């Protein structure tokens, strides 16, 4: 009986330890070389609280010398929380971030992450668009475009909230997956017109990137919906929840070339002959080739009608 009790205790302790082990680790980077948001402390407190209830670990820093290949490799996602200006100061630090994303890492940008590293084109493409101006803080209506994304599924179609609404140097639509827009008819000072993206995600250069322009005010981080929005973005960037990677299809002689982002880990292409309810999708088990930030697969063309999708 004593031996059985000891064995049971050992198994119980092991199970408890396994249950408490964080699923992944996030680095929150909040350095500023320009305007400093008072809400940074609120954002850090929120992400720490989210980690405690969603089984991930958090480190925080404003030290750019921690941007090394070895240090960044321990994190599933890096959050640029209201960073401003040239917060990475040399080629080694810039290169470490780039290699981290190329290796499949995730990046989250909050608010003035788009007012950061303006002269680095690679970063500009990572964030999606750069901040150029904003009107006074005021209430506006956010229109949700993707009601099933993990960062917007909990939001109402018309999300009314108060924040500082950024205008950007260009509309990123086409290069990113737009999650939500801000309706310029509901506030004053918008300069982008009828299509004004305000939150988006994309698979970029081997990794995953998610950005929200919200989060200027300290009050933002006390709003349950904004909290859930940010959590969904972190989970997407950390590859803890699936996103919506695009699947590209093009002819290649007598074959078909399928390609999808390298950062879309765990997704497998599948094929079917129709789109009727109950259609059985058959996974394509060939091993893809990784090149130029994409996974590519060449398969013979059957000559018959085929449909393709990504499954996870």
For the segment 289-297, the average pLDDT, to the nearest whole number, is 85
User: Can you say whether the dihedral through the CA atoms of 107, 51, 231, 14 is positive or negative?
Assistant: positive
Per-residue pLDDT for 134 more than 80?
yes
Q: 275 pLDDT band (50/70/90 cuts)?
A: confident
In Å, how far are 20, 21, 86, 206 from 24, measured between CA atoms?
12, 9, 28, 19
Three-class DSSP category at 230: helix
Average pLDDT of the residues in 29-41:
98
pLDDT at 199: 98
Residue 118 to residues 130, 230, 260, Cα–Cα distance (Å): 7, 23, 28
Work out the number of other CB atoms within 10 angstroms of the CB of residue 228: 17
What angle is formed at CA 190 by the lines to CA 185 and CA 196, rounded to 5 degrees?
A: 80
Token pair belonging to 302? 């059957």
Longest Cα–Cα distance of the chain, Å, equals 75
Write the pLDDT tens digit of every residue in 59-105: 999 999 999 999 999 999 999 999 999 999 999 999 999 999 999 99
Greater model confidence, 284 or 199: 199
Beta-carbon contacts of residue 177 (< 8 Å; ≥ 6 apart): 146, 149, 200, 201, 202, 243, 244
Report whether CATH 1.10.287.110 matches the domain 20-237. no
Tally the C-alpha atoms within 13 A of residue 191's C-alpha that lie toward its C-beta: 10
Two tokens, residue 83: 């960073």
How many angstroms separate the CA atoms of 42 and 15, rounded?
Answer: 34
- Confidence (pLDDT) at 19: 52
pLDDT in tens, 4-25: 444 444 444 444 444 568 999 9
Backbone CA torsion sign across 80, 84, 89, 91? positive
Q: Which of 201, 114, 104, 215 is nearest to 151 (CA)?
A: 201
pLDDT at 1 over 70: no
Question: Would you list the domain boundaries of the chain?
Answer: 20-237, 248-311
Strand partners, 163: 138
Distance CA 258, CA 249 (A): 5
pLDDT tens digits, one per residue of 158-183? 999 999 999 999 999 999 999 999 99
**Pairing status of strand 106-110 against strand 131-133:** unpaired
């Amino acid at each position: 009986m004593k031996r059985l009790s000891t064995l049971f205790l050992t198994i119980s302790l092991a199970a408890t330890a396994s249950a408490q082990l964080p699923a992944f680790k996030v680095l929150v980077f909040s350095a500023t070389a320009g305007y400093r948001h008072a809400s940074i402390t609120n954002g850090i407190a929120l992400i720490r609280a989210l980690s405690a209830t969603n089984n991930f670990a958090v480190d925080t820093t404003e030290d750019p010398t921690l941007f090394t290949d070895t240090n960044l490799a321990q994190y599933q996602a890096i959050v640029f929380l209201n960073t401003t200006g040239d917060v990475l100061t040399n080629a080694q630090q810039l290169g470490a971030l780039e290699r981290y994303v190329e290796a499949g890492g995730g990046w989250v940008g909050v608010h003035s992450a788009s007012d950061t590293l303006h002269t680095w084109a690679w970063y500009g493409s990572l964030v999606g668009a750069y901040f150029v101006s904003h009107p006074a803080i005021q209430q506006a209506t956010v229109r949700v475009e993707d009601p099933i994304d993990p960062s917007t599924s909990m939001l109402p179609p018309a999300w009314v909230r108060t924040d500082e609404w950024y205008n950007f140097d260009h509309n990123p639509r086409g290069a990113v997956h737009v999650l939500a827009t801000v309706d310029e008819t509901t506030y004053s000072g918008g300069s982008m017109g009828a299509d004004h993206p305000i939150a988006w995600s994309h698979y970029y250069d081997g990794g995953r990137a998610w950005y929200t322009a919200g989060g200027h005010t300290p009050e933002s981080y006390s709003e349950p919906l904004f909290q859930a929005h940010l959590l969904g973005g972190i989970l997407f960037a950390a590859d803890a929840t699936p996103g919506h990677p695009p699947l590209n299809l093009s002819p290649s002689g007598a074959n078909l070339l399928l390609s999808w982002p390298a950062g879309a880990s765990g997704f497998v292409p599948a094929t079917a002959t129709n789109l009727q309810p109950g259609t059985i999708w058959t996974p394509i088990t060939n091993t893809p080739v990784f090149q130029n930030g994409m996974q590519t697969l060449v398969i013979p063309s059957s000559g018959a009608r085929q449909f393709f999708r990504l499954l996870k």
